[in-house]
Chains A and B, each alone.
Chain A
């Protein structure tokens, strides 16, 4: 069965500093990995995905994520955080044979001025 773990409920970072939001996954086949962001009372917005190819994936709003197969991780990163990045971030995985997404529990990112 597919599963995703986001070990941190909340990440606090000062504006201008780099940020990392952690995600590890478990799938039986090759993973399709995704990061989504959610603002209060809104649906999810797609940030980036890894399907195949380069392990470093660049996405929207300056975010990037690194796929590490040996560590089964897909951490979200940004070199310089903005206050407007404060939101709830979800990591998700999909097995190649299925359309269903399995989400992690979410990590709240709080960027302070």
Chain B
């Protein structure tokens, strides 16, 4: 089946620094990718929709300048958390629609800002 690879799986950074998370579709092309954030013991909240070759679409309440999304190719989307603060600590997950109707998810990235 389709595979989405997300990297890194875990990152610890200092407050004020930026962190980049990569999401790759390994055996299919993804013109669209979705970025989710998951707080402990809570559901996935959609942050933004990444579109290859155009600007990302952000959900209400998500700061686009804080969470920079780039979808430079049909197999790669990146999320950069800029000037990270402890409240940005969370589990971030990307997904891409497959050939069928289901979505395929990356392994997730646990971000801890200290």
Contacts of B105 in A (CB 8 A): 36, 43-45
Say whether chain B's binding surface is mostly helix, strand, loop, or mixed: strand
Q: Do B107 and A42 touch across chains, with their CB atoms under 8 A apart? A: yes
- Set of chain A residues within 8 Å of B6, measured between Cβ atoms: 43
Contacts of A46 in B (CB 8 A): 102-104
Please tell me if A71 contacts chain B, counting CB pairs below 8 Å: no
Mark B30-47 against chain A: 1 for CB-CB distance below 8 A, else 0.
Answer: 001010000001111010
Given contacts A41-B108, A42-B107, A43-B106, contact A100 B101 (CB under 8 A): no
Is the pair A101, B110 in contact by a Cβ cutoff of 8 Å?
Answer: no
Residues in B with CB closer than 8 Å to A101 are 34, 46, 95, 103
User: For residue A43, which residues in chain B have a CB less than 8 angstroms away from its CB?
Assistant: 4, 6, 93, 95, 105-108
CB B100 to nearest CB in A, in angstroms, measures: 8
What distance in Å separates the Cβ of A73 from its nearest Cβ neighbour in chain B?
Answer: 18
In the complex, the chain B residue whose C-beta lies closest to that of A32 is B101
Q: Does A25 contact B (CB under 8 A)?
A: no
Measured CA separation A51–B91 after assembly (Å): 29
**Considering the chains assembled together, what is the distance between the CA atoms of A72 and B102 in angstroms?**
20
Which residue of B43, B46, B91, B107 contacts A90 across the interface (Cβ within 8 Å)?
Answer: B43
Whether the Cβ atoms of A34 and B102 lie closer than 8 Å is yes
* A100 pairs with B34, CB closer than 8 A: yes
**Cα–Cα distance between A19 and B110 once the two chains are bound (Å):** 30
Q: Specify which of A41, A51, A106 is in contact with B42 (CB 8 Å cutoff).
A: A106
**Contact of A94 with B by CB under 8 A:** yes
Q: Which of B47-102 contact A (CB under 8 A)?
A: 49, 91, 93, 95, 97, 101-102
C-alpha gap A44/B54 in the complex (Å): 27
Q: Which A residue's beta carbon lies closest to that of B97?
A: A99
Q: Which residues of A contact B95 (CB under 8 A)?
A: 43-44, 101
Shortest Cβ-Cβ A-B pairs, 3 listed = A43-B105, A44-B105, A105-B43
Residues of chain A touching chain B, judged by Cβ–Cβ distance below 8 Å, are 32, 34, 36, 41-46, 49, 51, 90, 94, 99-106
